[in-house]
């Protein structure tokens, strides 16, 4: 009888220990899955924020390009009218030189504005992604 009691006690101990270990393993797995879901959700939110910022930047750049094209067209029409009303070849050369200089200065100014817009857009686009990379790196370093 003592042997039977010993076997029963050993089986009960083993069953209790294995049940506890299994339960602990399942709880840890579920916690890890929940944490992974949270991280992936934050990553997706960062990608969405990044795409939104890129879209806004592209819209701003497009609006600038359209405004510049419209203003350029109006300037060219005015220049053509001025050239057509010129009284001499000397006046045509002077008007053309003036228009060319004005066009080049305007073009360079517009390129500067567009460069600033692109730079700001890239900065805004990359910011949410950089934040997520930083968070992941910090988490990995903390796990060491």
pLDDT-based confidence at residue 17 (cuts at 50, 70, 90): confident
Asked whether the predicted pLDDT for residue 10 surpasses 80, the reply is yes
Mean pLDDT of 23-52: 92
- pTM assigned to the model: 0.72
Query: According to the model, what pLDDT value does residue 140 have?
Result: 85
The share of the chain scoring above pLDDT 70, in percent, equals 99
Query: According to the model, what pLDDT value does residue 12 have?
Result: 83
pLDDT digits (tens, 9 = 90+) for 74-110: 999 999 999 899 899 999 999 999 999 999 999 999 9
According to the 3-state scheme, what is the secondary structure of 3-69?
HHHHHHHHHHHHHHHHHHHHHHHHHHHHHHHHHHHHHHHHHHHHHHHHHHHHHHHHHHHHHHHHHHH
């Amino acid at each position: 009888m003592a042997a039977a009691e010993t076997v029963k006690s050993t089986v009960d101990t083993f069953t209790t220990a294995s049940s506890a270990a299994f339960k602990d393993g399942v709880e840890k797995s579920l916690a890890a899955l929940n944490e992974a879901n949270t991280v992936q959700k934050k990553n997706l939110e960062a990608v969405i924020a990044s795409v939104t910022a890129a879209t806004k930047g592209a819209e701003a750049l497009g609006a600038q390009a359209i405004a510049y094209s419209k203003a350029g067209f109006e300037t060219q029409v005015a220049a053509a009218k001025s050239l057509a009303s010129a009284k001499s070849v000397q006046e045509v050369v002077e008007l053309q030189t003036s228009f060319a200089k004005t066009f080049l200065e305007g073009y360079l100014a517009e390129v500067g504005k567009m460069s600033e817009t692109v730079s700001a857009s890239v900065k805004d686009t990359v910011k949410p992604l950089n934040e997520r990379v930083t968070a992941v790196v910090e988490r990995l370093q903390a796990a060491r």
